[in-house]
Amino acid sequence: MKGRGPNKGGARHHENNRIYAHPLPLTFSDPSSNRTRPILGLLGLSRSQVINPHCEGYYDASTRSVWVVNQRDSEILWRRGFFGKGNLSRSEPSWFVRQVKDRQIRRVGSNASKMTSEELREKRRADRKQFKLDRAAAIAKVAAEAETIFETEGRVVVPALFGPQIPSGATWKPKTDESEPATDGNSDETEAIVKNTPDIEEALEDMEHLQLTLQEAFFLTWNFDCITILNPDTDEPLSLKDIWTSFQQVFLAPSTSISLTPVLEFDNPFLVHYAAYHHYRSLGWVVKTGLKFCVDYLLYKRGPVFTHAEFAIVVCPVYEDPQDQESSATNIQNASPFTWSWLSTINRANSQVMKTLVLAYVTIPAQCRLSKEILNSPACFAHYSVREVIVRRFIPARMRD
């Protein structure tokens, strides 16, 4: 089978490498000249400066997320690490781009030069549907020709299901259009479209915001201090201690106690899932939600625009002291042994989409050896550990030597 040409999708990959060049919101600049740079390197010095974007977001307890409403901040957080998702989009915030393109098509009658991820998905689905129709029509045509030969010549011809007359996945090609997408960038496209039709931006308001999970928001706040989380009622920034307490308290059951002091526990779902999230992010993986595939997280090498996720993560809490689980009122998910049928179903669903299922066991420290006062700060994560177990299906037809 012939491999892909060297320029297959080269323009799109080159553009993606340019747009998503930074793996984290923080960037570095080196103001040193070419002459002084080698000298500073010999001395072990560097004048590189850290550039912090200082984004802002609003904490929303009802959805357990942080909303980034500023378009600049949303673009930075998505393009530098693929943090969050558009609340009106599949992943990348592209609702405004789609609306602008639709209005341009209706007013001007021309199509945009690029496609969003949602449009690419719909195009692939339409191509698969058209391929099935074309293949069925070709098979019906061959069968009709065989029937005609039998009626006229009396020869029996077995209709072929494969061959040059029957399109296959390798030979069939969709009808191409000159407006095929060249890149996945949306901001540059929006500017070009609005520039050509300036009245579109005035009539259309961007209703979409970037929605960060609590794990993503705390990772950006605690480790890089590149996002300020605001109180939606007062617009005042929350301190790290307030964020730490609020993110845990949102998972607690309503209490009838009149005490205003929240009761923090070692098995709080936020702590357990953040321990797994931080573990994989610190190893260089891009971690996204895996709700679509019935898992907790998906791991990407570089990001969703480059390749599909390779690993599907299921977070499995494990109590260091079994007595803590019996006395706990949290009832955290996957803490109890799951059934074999459940594991087989999850594994099969992810194997069919070429993802390796990983069970990430997060050990919850025992209350008998630690005081709950340690839960007042993120220093408690030093007592959590993560271990992985890979689960694979044995398929005899595919795993022979």
Domain of residue 385, residue span: 253-401
CATH classification at residue 377: 3.40.1350.10
Query: Does 81 fall in a domain?
Result: no
Q: Which of 345, 319, 320 has its CA nearest to residue 330? A: 319
Among 131-145, 211-225, 266-280, the least confident range: 131-145
Report the alpha-carbon angle 358-364-366, nearest 5.
150
Where is average pLDDT lowest: 2-16, 61-75, 217-231, 378-392? 2-16
Residue 297, domain member (yes or no): yes
**Mean pLDDT in residue range 202-211:** 82
* 239 in a structural domain: no
In whole angstroms, give the CA distance from residue 361 to residue 340: 17
Active-site residue, 355 included: yes
How confident is the model at residue 198, as a pLDDT?
A: 52
Count the Cβ atoms, other than its own, within 10 Å of residue 261: 7
Rounded Cα distance, 77 and 56, in Å: 10
Residue 206 lies in a domain: no
pLDDT single digits (tens) 226-235: 999 999 999 9
Given the residues 355, 361, 372, 384, the one annotated as active site: 355
Nearby residues of 240 by Cβ (< 8 Å), 6 or more positions away: 221, 222
The string over 57-86, giving b where at least 16 C-beta atoms fall within 10 Å of a residue's C-beta and e elsewhere, is bbbeeeeebbbbeebebbbbbbbbbbbbbb
pLDDT, position 180: 46
Query: 49 in a domain, yes or no?
Result: no
Q: Give a yes or no: residue 326 inside a domain.
A: yes
**How many domains does the structure of the chain reveal?**
1
Question: Residue 92 falls within a domain, yes or no?
Answer: no
Task: Give the SS3 label for residue 29.
Answer: strand
> How far, CA to CA in Å, does 267 sit from each of 11, 91, 152, 219, 362?
48, 30, 79, 19, 10
**pLDDT tens, position by position, 107-163:** 655 554 566 666 777 777 888 888 888 888 888 888 888 888 877 877 777 776 667
Is-catalytic flag, 241?
A: no
Mean pLDDT, to the nearest integer, of 174-183?
A: 53
Please indicate, yes or no, if residue 102 is contained in any of the structural domains. no
CA distance linking residue 278 with residue 361, whole number of Å: 14
Sheet bearing 356-364, strands edge to edge: 286-289, 297-300, 311-319, 356-364, 385-391
Cα–Cα nearest to 274, from 332, 329, 211, 219 = 219
What is the CB neighbour count within 10 angstroms for residue 153?
Answer: 9
C-alpha to C-alpha distance for 295 and 285, rounded to whole angstroms: 16
> Of residues 141, 241, 308, 372, which has the active-site annotation?
308
Structural tokens at position 112:
């945009």
Q: Which of 20, 300, 319, 384 is catalytic?
A: 300
For residues 234 and 49, what is the distance between their CA atoms, to the nearest angstrom? 33
- Which tokens hold the place of 101? 């393109």
